[in-house]
Amino acid sequence: MHILYLDDSGSVNNANEDYFVLGGVSVPEASVRWLSHQLELLAQRISPSNYREVEFHAADIFGGRDGIWRTLRSKNERIELLQSH
């Protein structure tokens, strides 16, 4: 069995938006615990004292405007941090 996560961005009914994106991740049920642990380790690297408050939202990560992501000055710094783990 797999656990499936789907998310969308945009709106089909909004004429002002050029794109509607549907993305997803399918993870074998046996790997969910491992994936969760890896994300927790990454959150601990990002904010050791407050790692449970780290949220992995693409808009926040790439925009660098909210939460812990605003403390990382450049977009490249945020991307390198994610790629290094």
Q: With a threshold of 0.75, does the pTM exceed it?
A: no
**Residue with tokens 């390198």, as numbered in its chain:** 80
- Helix 75-84 and helix 32-46, axial crossing angle in degrees, nearest 10: 140
38-82: per-residue pLDDT in tens? 999 989 988 899 889 888 887 888 888 777 888 877 888 888 877
In whole angstroms, how far apart are CA 48 and each of 21, 41, 44, 51, 77? Answer: 33, 9, 4, 5, 17
Domain ranges of the chain: 2-84
**What pLDDT shows up at residue 85?**
65
